Structure 1
Amino acid sequence: MVRWEVFAVKSILALVTGFTVYISGVINEATVILVFFMFLDFISGMLRGWLTKSLNSTIGLAGLIKKFAVIVILAMTAGLEYFFMHMGQDTGGLIILTVSSFFIVNEGLSILENCAQLGLPIPPILYNSLEKLNRDPSGKEQAIIRDPLLDKIDKAVLLKEVKQNQVEIASQELKKEEDQKGDDV
């Protein structure tokens, strides 16, 4: 699947979800559901990172920044909704509902992807679809690649080596200070 096809599938799912939620009379709840899905996606991403030993604060911060950007887009959409209402056009909350639905679908796919990488049983048809979504148009994987050397490093041994190096550096500095005091006398 090329990128525009993935975007088209997400958009269609967002429109269907938005229309269904609109018909059922749930308007503001879509934003609450989106925030809840964002929370679940963040937690499942942290669990995936911890389990695959690829937990990275930079990637986590980038994810949080993206989630904040989604909230900014929702605020902008709410502003547009407000503008249309004051112009006499009753949208019935359909604009913000559609945008929220798009991001709900996006977060849901991300949660499903994280759960699949955690090893949870995912139906084969969904798993194959997720594999296709994780490829860029040239067919290359977009998965996070972890340096294999990091798996071989024992953190406890590494911490002991760092502590030992700190003790050696402190003793060398103390020796330099004593030598300087001896030269001054």
Structure 2
Amino acid sequence: MKSFTKKDMRNKKYTLLQGVFFIPIFNERRCNMKIYSLEASGFVAATGTGLTYLFGAWDTALLVLVAFMVLDYGTGLLRAYVNKEISSEKGFKGLIRKGVILIVLIVAVLLDRLLNTGTWVFRTLVCFFYIANEGISLLENCAGLGLKLPPQLLEALLQLEEGNKKEIRKGDEK
């Protein structure tokens, strides 16, 4: 059986078995993988740190806002598909709108950091407002798909958007 050197392996094509059983090259590749893994970990850590600084803590309000934004966009696409109104221009405007919501959220976080009160006053306000806004839009998309919706759900979202806290009526009571 022929013995292969690193030079042989780099200059010639080799079979899978030859490549697998050639230990020095395998170890060299493993070292390169560790370096790439370390670089990727650093990139992920830096990105996560930057996003946490810009958007504040990853709490329930932010989670709900992001979920509502994704669900609203998804139901909007479904509504457009079902009603045969798909438009790349409208879809792009929807994405721009979501991006601007995130910019407003960043401004709110920076204002909270400027005030240095230790709480997320403006950020929470912005999150609640846009959660209500996205929720209403999501319900409109669902209604556009022909779904019946409980009126109490829409009423709760309207109250959240207006900042009022009233008792939500039950069932058929008025």
| Paired residue type of 2:139 | L
The CA deviation at 1:91 is 5.1
User: Which residue in the other structure is 2:122 paired with?
Assistant: 95
Give the aligned partner of residue 8 of structure 2.
none
Calculate percent identity across the aligned residue pairs: 38
1:109 matched to 2:136? The reply is yes
Give the structure-2-normalised TM-score.
Answer: 0.52
2:111 corresponds to: 80
More relative contact order, 1 or 2 (CA 8 Å, 6+ apart): 1
Confirm whether residue 45 of structure 1 aligns to residue 72 of structure 2: no
Equivalent pair of 1:81/1:96 in contact (CA under 8 Å): yes
**Structure 1 runs, 4 residues or longer, greater than 4 Å off:** 124-127
Aligned pair in 2 of structure 1 residues 125, 84: CA closer, same or farther (>3 Å)?
Answer: closer
> For 1:76, what is the secondary structure of its paired residue?
helix
Instruction: Supply the distance in 2 between the matched residues of 1:27 and 1:95 (Cα, whole angstroms).
Output: 15
Residue 44 of structure 1 contacts residue 115 of structure 1 at CA under 8 Å; is this kept in 2?
yes
Report the number of matched residues: 99
TM-score (norm 1): 0.49
Q: Match for 1:32 among 63, 76, 82?
A: 63
- Note the C-alpha offset of 1:32: 1.7
1:118 matched to 2:134: no
| SS of residue matched to 2:114 | helix
Separation (CA, whole Å) in 2 of partners of 1:82 and 1:92: 9
CA RMSD of aligned residues (A): 2.2
Residues in 2 aligned to 1:27 and 1:99: alpha-carbon distance in whole angstroms = 15
Q: Which runs of 5+ in 2 are unaligned?
A: 1-56, 155-174
Q: Report Cα offsets for 1:125-174 as digits up to 9, x if no partner.
A: 778xxxxxxxxxxxxxxxxxxxxxxxxxxxxxxxxxxxxxxxxxxxxxxx
Deviates more, 1:116-125 or 1:56-65: 116-125
The CA distance in 1 between the partners of 2:139 and 2:120, in whole Å, is: 28
AA in 2 matched with 1:82: R
